[in-house]
Structure 1
Amino acid sequence: MRNVSDIIEQYLKGILIESSDGVVEIQRNDLADRFSCVPSQINYVISTRFTLEKGYIVESKRGGGGYVRIQRVDLPAHHVLHTHLHHSIGDEISQSAAEGLIYQLEEAGFLNKREAAMMKAAVSRETIALKLPYRDQVRARMFKAMLIALLSK
């Protein structure tokens, strides 16, 4: 059984997909009432599952008429994806940033679930058992090599 956070995430992604401009504005309290949860549960879902690394921009206004605006940031077209990723990764990349890019690529359909899972395993700090900054540098080189191989298909 899925938990409330998963259901809220899927609901928000659904209305983002239906949105003509890729933007949705919601009020925390209305959403909390809809899913019979506390507003802090909504905050948790938004802050952990709608991050910039995962391809979203979130604006928040608190107070009486407060709202949350979530906007999907699409990856560039396939022909410029290599350049975009090269600049996004740079000479070193953290595990969370790499996982965020993997998530974006999977969501955009550039990677399937299995490829994404393999890449996450390869870039994890447990796999690259080196001290910083070497770990982030090795991760960046491996990550770029994997992406070039996978996205050149």
Structure 2
Amino acid sequence: MRNISDIIEKYLKSILHESPEGAIEIQRNDLADQFSCVPSQINYVISTRFTLEKGYLVESKRGGGGYVRIRRIELPGPTTLHTHLHQTIGDEIGQSAAEGLIYQLEEARFLSSREAALMRAAVSREILMVKLPYRDQIRARLMKAMLISLLG
């Protein structure tokens, strides 16, 4: 069975996908009641699975009447994607940012799950056993080369 964090993430993504505005607004406490968990569990899911690197913008207001607004950031169309990726990656990129970008491209269906898995393996710090900042520079070059080959 999947854990509660996976279930909450799947639920939030499904209602986000159905939203015509590409954004949802939720109440932490209401969602916690719905899933019979504590509000901090909702915070954990949002802060770890709906990050900017993964293509989400999260705004929140605490207190009475507080809310969490999650908005999906759309990738540019294929014509401007190359420029966007070059600017996003830059001359160096850390592992978490690289993995977030790969995740975002996979979610947008620019990459297959197999391509994404291969890219994640190739840019991991366990494979790139070089000291910083060289590791992040090599990772950026690898990312650019792979994405140019895959996305044309």
Q: Same fold (TM over 0.5)?
A: yes
Three-state SS of the structure 2 residue aligned to 1:2 is: coil
Match of 2:107 in 1: 107
1:1-153 alignment runs, 5 A limit: 1-152=1-152
Alpha-carbon distance, 1:10 to partner: 0.6
Three-state SS of the structure 2 residue aligned to 1:47 is: helix
Three-state SS of the structure 2 residue aligned to 1:5 is: helix
How far does the alpha carbon of each residue in 1:5-34 deviate from its partner, in whole angstroms, 9 at most, with x for none? Answer: 001001000111111100100000000000
Three-state SS of the structure 1 residue aligned to 2:80 is: helix
CA distance, structure 1, for counterparts of residue 27 and residue 122 of structure 2: 39
- TM superposition score normalised by structure 1: 0.98
CA distance, structure 2, for counterparts of residue 119 and residue 11 of structure 1: 27
Which amino acid counterpart does residue 135 of structure 2 have in structure 1? R
The Cα RMSD (Å) is: 0.4
Which amino acid counterpart does residue 98 of structure 1 have in structure 2? A
Q: What is the number of equivalent residue pairs in this alignment? A: 152
Unaligned 5+ runs, structure 1? none
CA distance, structure 2, for counterparts of residue 73 and residue 54 of structure 1: 9
Which amino acid counterpart does residue 25 of structure 2 have in structure 1? E
How far does the alpha carbon of each residue in 1:32-52 deviate from its partner, in whole angstroms, 9 at most, with x for none? Answer: 000000000000000000000
Three-state SS of the structure 1 residue aligned to 2:64 is: coil
How far does the alpha carbon of each residue in 1:42-91 deviate from its partner, in whole angstroms, 9 at most, with x for none? Answer: 00000000000000000010001110000000100011100000000000
CA distance, structure 2, for counterparts of residue 15 and residue 142 of structure 1: 35
> Structure 1 segments of 4 or more deviating over 6 A?
none
Which amino acid counterpart does residue 40 of structure 1 have in structure 2? S
Which amino acid counterpart does residue 62 of structure 1 have in structure 2? R
Unaligned 5+ runs, structure 2? none
Which amino acid counterpart does residue 62 of structure 2 have in structure 1? R
